[in-house]
Amino acid sequence: MKDASKNVAGEENGAKKGAAHKLIHHLIQLQELMIARDQQHAAGGNLESLDESIGALMDELDDSVARQFTRLRKKSLLAIVPVANQVCTACGMSLPISQVQLVRQARTLHACPNCARLLYYPDVALRAKGRWAPRGTAPKVGVARFSSPELMMPRMEATTRDEAIAEMCSLLEQQGYVEDAAHIASEALKREAVASTAVDHGLAFPHVRGVEGGGLVMVLGISKKGIRFDEAERSLSRIICFMVIPTAASAFYLKLLAGLTQTFRSKEAREKVLAEEEPEKLWKTLVKLTRSTLK
């Protein structure tokens, strides 16, 4: 009888954990779609299909969870955030080990005691090494806050979306900004599966969010022939901005996206970056073009 009771209890715990995991992934997907909508709105893209997908996912939630999620989203861009190094990645509060363990077990939803955001433990922890300016150097401004000459790619070799993302992630790893280029690329492709990051004017903004341990960083890649980021569209992307975004920088990313989109709405600006052949020259052109849009 004892063995039977243990089996029943184990099955119940497993069922609870399975249901909670499913709910957590549901909320993460919903949040990704909402952020994708914000991104498309900032870039002037079509919102109809995203609105339909968001509505369908919201309808599947229990009323209490839907209200909690909506209330959190009204306060901030992020309603559910990962735990990294025993810290809430949204507000930076250190969490008790006991709470981190409960979050990791995922038998129910848990919230940060400081900012009230829902917490989850990522399946695979991503970490960026990051780079910091030496003491005594002048503070960086504009595009220099999140990119640099060595992250300019004026002559990409890739001919497909997957190759382009892999090539840009490889450069980030070579320059010491991320530790696992293949995994970062895989996460970026998962994000593309939610909704394409290609927008008008031959632009694409592939990215990975929730990469902790460093700052927001961007690679600018140029494809002279163009790459099809969205198989449903005929247009090709020639200016590709790949970004790795810590959770705390998610809100700022939308401002960055809006600034870059504003810059490259100008045909003259697009032609200038497409004409460059060397990383240093591409960097100088980007800095000059974004001086008024990224402050």
- Alpha carbon 143 to chain centroid distance? 18
Query: Are residues 147 and 196 located together in one domain of the fold?
Result: yes
- Please say which residue of 69, 88, 120 terminates a domain: 120
Domain co-membership, 55 together with 160: no
125 located within any domain: no
Lay out the sheet containing 80-84: strands in order across.
87-88, 80-84, 118-120, 110-111
Same domain, 88 and 24: yes
Q: Which domain range does residue 161 map to? A: 142-289
Query: Which of these three, 86, 120, 154, is where a domain ends?
Result: 120
Residue 13, phi then psi, degrees to nearest 5: -65, -40
**Same domain as 52, residue 171:** no
Can you give the pTM of this predicted structure? 0.71
Q: Mark whether 56 and 147 lie in a shared domain.
A: no
Q: How many domains does the structure of the chain reveal?
A: 2
Residue 45 belongs to domain with CATH number: 1.10.287.1490
Provide the CATH number for the domain around residue 265.
3.40.930.10
Question: What integer pLDDT is reported at residue 241 of this predicted model?
Answer: 97
What would the two tokens of residue 275 be?
């004409």
Residue 223 maps to a domain: yes
Question: Do residues 201 and 268 both lie within one domain?
Answer: yes
Are 26 and 107 part of one and the same domain? yes
Q: Which residues does the chain have with pLDDT short of 70?
A: 1-18, 43-46, 123-141, 251
Helix residue ranges per DSSP H, 44-180? 48-59, 63-75, 97-105, 161-174
Residue 129 lies in a domain: no
Among residues 85, 120, 155, the one where a domain terminates is 120
Q: Considering the domain boundaries, does residue 132 fall inside one?
A: no
Q: Assess whether 150 and 283 both reside in one domain.
A: yes
Asked if residue 83 and residue 51 are part of one domain, the reply reads: yes
Task: Tell me, yes or no, whether 231 lies in a domain.
Answer: yes
Q: Are residues 25 and 94 in the same domain?
A: yes
What is the model's pLDDT at position 135? 41
- At residue 124, the pLDDT reads 53
Residues in the chain: 295
